[in-house]
Amino acid sequence: MKKMDNLIRHKGSCHCGAVKYEVEATEIIQATLCNCSICSKSGYLHLIVPASRFHLLQGADNLATYTFDTHEAKHLFCKTCGIKSYYVPRSNPDGFSINVRCLEPNTIKGINISNFDGRNWKVNAHTLAHLSKEFE
Amino acid sequence: MTEHYRGSCHCGAVRFSYEGEVITKGLRCNCSICSRKGAMMTPEAIPQENFSIEAEEGALGLYQFGLKTAKHYFCKRCGIYTFHETSRKKDHYRANLGCIEGIDTFSLDADVFDGKNLL
C-alpha cells in the first residue's frame, strides 16, 4: 500500500450474513492466491491490509477460531455457514487478510492476483510482511 | 475408468472416500455460496451409495439456505468445506477437490457452472 493510493470502502460478509465488515482498499484489488495446506482446501483469495483498515461491523460472537502448527494464524470462520470471510494470517499478525471472494462486487474495479508459494512458507513469508504496514 | 479417492478437511475430523470417475479437471460455480467457498469441485455428482463419510462426533456442520434442497457441509473445527449434497441431483454429492489426497487443484483446469443464473 502506497501513501498516494486512493482507498474506498468495500463491504464484505459470510454467506448467511452473520459476519459483516468493511475494508478500506483500492478499487483495483491486489490479491494473493496461496497454495499452502489450508489455503488449498479453503479456496481463499487474500487481500492483506493493516489492522486500521478493517472494520468488523457485526458477528464477532458468531466466529469460530481454528489454529494449527505454530498457532500464530487465527483462522476464523462463521459458525453458521462455515465461510471464512477474514482472518489473522501468520505472515501478518499485525493486520488482517480479507477474503476477496466475500466482498460485494459492485465496488471492485478489478482484481490483480499474485501467486504466493505458501508450501515453502518460511522462505517466502517476508515478501508479504509489508502489506499490513500502514504505509510503505 | 474409476478410481478410489480419499479426502479430509484440514484438521482431519471430517473424512470421506468414494469410488468415481478419474479426476482430470474440476468444476467451479459462481453462485452466492460457491463463489465464497472458492472451491474447485468434482465434476461428477457422486451417488450417495458410493460416497462414504466419517466424521468425529459433533464435527460435521450443515448449512442450508433458500429452498434448502442442497446440504452444505463443513468441518465445525477447522471450517473447511469438504462436500455437499447437490440441489440439482438428490442423494448425490460433490466434493472439494482441494481436500482430496493426490489432487493438486493448482494444476487442474476447471469448467464453470453459471449457478448465479441457473440455480
Rounded average pLDDT over A14-29: 98
Contacts (Cβ under 8 Å, ≥6 apart) of B4: B17, B18, B19
Q: For residue B118, is pLDDT > 90? A: no
CB-CB neighbors (< 8 A) of B74 in chain A: 77, 81-82
Instruction: Measure the CA angle with vertex A70, ends B35 and A24; round to 5°.
Output: 45
Q: How far is B32 from chain A, CA to nearest CA, in Å?
A: 7
Q: What are phi and psi of A85, to 5 degrees?
A: -95, -20
CB-CB neighbors (< 8 A) of A68 in chain B: 10-11, 78
Nearest CA in chain A to B61: A82
Rounded average pLDDT over B89-96: 96
Identify the residue with better confidence: A136 or B77: B77
Q: Which residue has the cell 448425490?
A: B92
Q: What is the pLDDT of residues B7-49, one digit of tens each?
A: 999 999 999 999 999 999 999 999 999 999 999 999 999 999 9
**Of residues A37, A81, A101, nearest to B38 (C-beta):** A101
CB atoms within 10 A of CB B43: 17
Q: What distance in Å separates the CA atoms of residue A131 and residue A48, rounded to the nearest whole number?
A: 6
DSSP string of B4-69, one letter each residue:
EEEEE-SSSSEEEEEEEE---SEEEE-SHHHHHHT--B-SSPEEGGGEEEEE-TT-EEEE--TT--
The pLDDT score that the predictor gives to residue A1 is: 53
Pinpoint the alpha helices (H) of A33-136: 37-42, 121-124
Q: For residue A2, is pLDDT > 90? A: no
**Of residues B38, B81, B99, nearest to A82 (C-beta):** B81
Q: What distance in Å separates the CA atoms of residue B13 and residue B113, rounded to the nearest whole number?
A: 29
What are A110's three cell numbers?
478489478
What are B26's three cell numbers?
474440476
**Of residues B35, B36, B105, nearest to A40 (C-beta):** B105
Q: What distance in Å separates the CA atoms of residue B5 and residue A42, rounded to the nearest whole number?
A: 19
Identify the residue with better confidence: A78 or A3: A78
Q: What distance in Å separates the CA atoms of residue A28 and residue A11, rounded to the nearest whole number?
A: 14
Give the model's confidence band at B4: pLDDT under 50 very low, under 70 low, under 90 confident, else very high. very high
Q: Which residue has the cell 468441518?
A: B75
Give the model's confidence band at A5: pLDDT under 50 very low, under 70 low, under 90 confident, else very high. confident
Q: For residue A3, is pLDDT > 60? A: no
CB-CB neighbors (< 8 A) of A101 in chain B: 35-38
Cα separations (Å) of A8 from A28, A37, A131, B50? 10, 32, 17, 49
Helix (H, G, I), strand (E, B) or coil at A130: helix
How far does CA A63 lie from the centroid of its chain? 15
- Give residue B20's identity as a one-letter amino acid code: G
The pLDDT score that the predictor gives to residue A117 is: 95
**Of residues B10, B33, B36, nearest to A38 (C-beta):** B10
Q: What is the pLDDT of residues A69-90, one digit of tens each?
A: 999 999 999 999 999 999 999 9
Nearest CA in chain B to A38: B10
Q: Burial-class residue A4 by CB neighbours within 10 Å (0-12, 13-18, 19+).
A: exposed
Contacts (Cβ under 8 Å, ≥6 apart) of B12: none
The pLDDT score that the predictor gives to residue B119 is: 76
- Interface mutation target, options A41, A97, A108, A113, chain B, most CBs of B under 10 Å: A41
The pLDDT score that the predictor gives to residue A136 is: 53
Give the model's confidence band at A4: pLDDT under 50 very low, under 70 low, under 90 confident, else very high. low
What are B51's three cell numbers?
460416497
pLDDT averaged over every residue in chain B: 96
Q: Using beta carbons and an 8 Å cutoff, which residues of A are at the interface with B?
A: 14-16, 35, 37-38, 40-45, 64, 66, 68, 75-77, 79-85, 99, 101-102
Rounded average pLDDT over B54-82: 97
